[in-house]
C-alpha cells in the first residue's frame, strides 16, 4: 500500500539516455570550463551549457578576451558558423571550495 501514498518520498531516478558515442561525449563536457575561439580572433572563457545541431554554443559566466583586453560578458551564444575551436579544461577541485 505504500506505493499508493502520494506523500511518501520516492528515490529520484536517473534519466536513461540512448546516446550515440558523440552525444555522450558532448554530454560529459556539460558545465566544464571551456575556451572557444571565434573566426574574428576573439576568445571566450566560460562554462559550457549547451550546443544545438547547428553548432550554436552557449557559455555562462563568460569572459571575452580580445587584443589584450578582457571583459565579462556573462551568458553568451556563439553562432556555429563563427566557431573556430573549442577546448575544455579539467575541473580544478579548488574552484568548489
pLDDT digits (tens, 9 = 90+) for 25-54: 888 889 999 999 999 999 999 999 999 999
Cell digits of residue 88: 575544455
Quickly list H helices, 8-85.
21-28
CATH number for the 32-89 domain, one of 2.30.29.30, 3.30.230.10, 3.40.190.10, 2.30.30.100? 2.30.30.100
pTM metric for this prediction: 0.75
Kindly state the helix (H) or strand (E) to which residue 86 belongs, with its residue range.
Answer: strand 83-88
% of the chain beyond a pLDDT of 70: 84
* Nearest by Cα to 59 from 41, 86, 82, 40: 86
Measured in whole angstroms, the distance separating CA 77 from the mean position of its chain's CA atoms is 11
Q: Hey, how many other C-beta atoms are within 10 angstroms of the C-beta on 94?
A: 6
- Domain range list for the chain: 32-89
Q: What is the pLDDT of residue 17?
A: 75
Q: What is the pLDDT of residue 96?
A: 60
Amino acid at each position: 500500500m505504500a506505493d499508493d501514498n502520494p506523500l511518501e518520498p520516492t528515490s529520484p531516478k536517473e534519466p536513461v539516455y540512448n546516446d550515440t558515442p558523440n552525444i555522450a561525449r558532448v554530454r560529459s563536457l556539460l558545465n566544464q570550463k571551456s575556451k572557444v575561439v571565434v573566426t574574428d580572433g576573439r576568445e571566450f572563457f566560460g562554462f559550457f551549457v549547451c550546443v544545438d545541431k547547428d553548432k550554436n554554443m552557449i557559455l555562462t559566466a563568460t569572459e571575452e578576451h580580445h587584443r589584450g583586453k578582457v571583459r565579462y560578458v556573462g551568458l553568451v551564444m556563439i553562432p556555429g558558423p563563427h566557431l573556430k575551436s573549442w577546448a575544455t579544461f579539467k575541473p580544478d577541485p579548488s574552484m568548489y571550495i
